[in-house]
Amino acid sequence: MIPPADFRCATAPVRPRQPRVAPHQPRVQPLTAPPALEPPWHVILLDDDFHTFDYVIEMLHTIFGHSHALGKRMANEVNDTGRVIVATVHKELAELRQQQIEEYGPDPLEKNPQRQVSMRALIECSE
């Protein structure tokens, strides 16, 4: 007996059917500008007559991690010009560093109780 034409041999390989899937369409990103980066902010130490150079150098090392040499240069600049930029960072960190300066405490070498205050600082946008 002759098998019908559409009968396949059991040993013949069978190709699996390809799934019906829509072709890949890349996602289209909206044509909007990326969010603007915030400008950096300067932390500015202000001069006064109540703190020694050693106090300023120690404070800058403790709060900012500045070296002794850099702290000394900054102490000289704040003494000469009345202010010095001690850091340029994003706004939240600038506000924190300003607060840390103002809460650092008085100079232990200052004996006059009216002059036992922390140093003052302000922040300004760098642009």
Instruction: List residues bridging with 122 in a β-sheet.
Output: 44
List helix spans (H) across 8-127.
53-64, 68-81, 91-102
Please give the backbone phi and psi of residue 34, each rounded to the nearest 5 degrees, phi first.
-65, 155
pLDDT for 116 equals: 78
pLDDT 10s per residue in the chain (127 long)?
555 555 555 666 677 777 777 777 777 777 777 777 889 999 999 998 888 899 999 999 999 999 999 999 999 999 999 999 999 999 999 999 999 999 998 888 877 777 778 899 999 998 8
Element (H, E) at 43: strand 41-46
* Residue 49, pLDDT score: 83
Model pTM score: 0.69
How many degrees, rounded to 5, is the angle at CA 57 between CA 70 and CA 75?
70
Beta-carbon contacts of 54 under 8 Å, excluding residues fewer than 6 positions away, are: 109
